[in-house]
Amino acid sequence: MAPSKKHIVAAAAAGIITATLAVAPANAEPSSAPASPTTEQSTDELAKQITDKQHELANVNEEYLVAQEDLAAKTEAQKTAQAEVEGAQAGLETAKAQVAAMGVEAYKSGSLPTTIYLLSGESPQEFIDRANSQQYVDAYHDQRLQALDAAQASSQQVKDQADQAKTAAEQAEATLADKKSTLEDEIPKLQETLDNLNAEQQAALEQYQQQQIAAEAAANEAANGPTGEAAPSSAPSPASAPASNPAPQAASGSIQAMIDWAMAQQGKPYQWGATGPNSFDCSGFTMMAFKQIGISIPRTSGAQAGTGTAVPMSALQPGDLLYGPGHVGLYIGNGTAVHAPTSGQSVTTITASYFKGARRIA
């Protein structure tokens, strides 16, 4: 059963419950207002916990989407196996009917016992001819019996495979159902905690995220070299990313159309499992971007990272798919990418060096 939109939203949001519930200490007095951190350390710690959980959320999103695809594949395998069972059973019934018909025909024709039939020949040559004929009939019966046995074995083998596929699909479905139920119970607590974040905590969270982006970009650039078109000197934050296309170089007409579409999605919120038109998750965003120019790519970020041809980060071209752990984006030129970041954020641009690798698809 396909998950409802409510299920997907609940699953995505619940990934950061554990960390955000740490805002108020366990021994705090009940209060209608949240407890504000009194030191820079407590504010920074909250920001770190939320950001870490957002990274974890991206991985949970990937796991869920992969499990969903696996469930669909196993369900399809069960249907195919069941069809093969029915085909094998039909073959079995056909073989049975043919063998039975031969026996009935022999009875109706009044065939003599084999020994009498062979000895009743008028000459040695006729004896040999009849013996050869009888061997042919016996061989034919043997072939039909062997075919019957093969049909039975095939039927049983396919049935076993069908049962295994069905069991696997049911187990996967049960696991997802349990996860959905748990997340649906936790989502109200998460929403309350997020609503209670004060201005100081929100500012600390944004600052920490910007620092993390800059640190990851610096580490990736040190490992891979500079990106293809002079990356910006500092990492833009999701909140302050440029709102216009930075005029990528050497983009073909179709690639430029894809980039124009991607840039037009800026400001639309991240939503786990969403593929537009009003919200996206990271892989849903890139999948829909390539769809604009008639290219179909897989749904999950892990599968997308294996699509196309690998290209070094120092040789990027507009339209390249960028990837990192559990995340993907689209290179638009001039060292810049556009992506759907994470829960609580919107589609925006970012330095391309934030990502670890690239694939050329178009």
CATH code at 180?
1.10.287
Contact 231, 300 (CB under 8 A): no
The reply to whether 188 and 71 lie within a common domain is yes
The reply to whether 185 and 75 lie within a common domain is yes
User: In the chain, where do the E strands start and end?
Assistant: 309-311, 321-324, 327-333, 336-339, 348-351, 357-360
- pLDDT confidence of residue 149: 67
Instruction: Select from 13, 98, 112 the least CA-distant residue to 54.
Output: 13
Q: pLDDT for 66-109, tens place per residue?
A: 877 887 887 787 777 777 777 767 776 776 676 666 655 554 55
Q: Which residues contact 70 (CB under 8 A, 6 or more apart)?
A: 172
Structural domains of the chain, count = 2
The reply to whether 178 and 314 lie within a common domain is no
Q: Which residue has the tokens 């030129």?
A: 333
- pLDDT confidence of residue 252: 63
Residues designated as active site: 282, 327, 339
The reply to whether 190 and 48 lie within a common domain is yes
Per-position DSSP letters for 201-261, written without gaps between them? HHHHHHHHHHHHHHHHHHHHHHHH-S-TT---SSPPPTTT--SS----TT--HHHHHHHHH
Phi and psi for 358 in degrees, rounded to 5?
A: -145, 150
Distance of CA 259 to the CA centre of its chain: 24
Domain of residue 139 covers 43-194
Among 176, 194, 212, identify where a domain stops: 194
The reply to whether 348 and 262 lie within a common domain is yes
The reply to whether 190 and 68 lie within a common domain is yes
The reply to whether 65 and 178 lie within a common domain is yes
Q: Is 123 inside a domain boundary?
A: yes
Phi and psi for 245 in degrees, rounded to 5?
A: -65, 125
Low-confidence ranges of the chain (pLDDT < 50): 1-39, 41, 107, 110, 112, 115-119, 127, 130, 136, 230-250
Q: Is 165 inside a domain boundary?
A: yes
Among 194, 218, 235, identify where a domain stops: 194
- pLDDT confidence of residue 13: 39
Per-position DSSP letters for 13-43, written without gaps between them? HGGGHHHHGGGS-TTPPP-SSPPPP-SHHHH
Q: Which residues contact 103 (CB under 8 A, 6 or more apart)?
A: none
Q: From CA 71, how far away is CA 179, in angstroms rounded? A: 14
CATH code at 325?
3.90.1720.10
- pTM comes to 0.56
Q: Which residues contact 119 (CB under 8 A, 6 or more apart)?
A: 127
The reply to whether 150 and 61 lie within a common domain is yes
Q: What is the DSSP letter of 316?
A: -
- pLDDT confidence of residue 99: 60
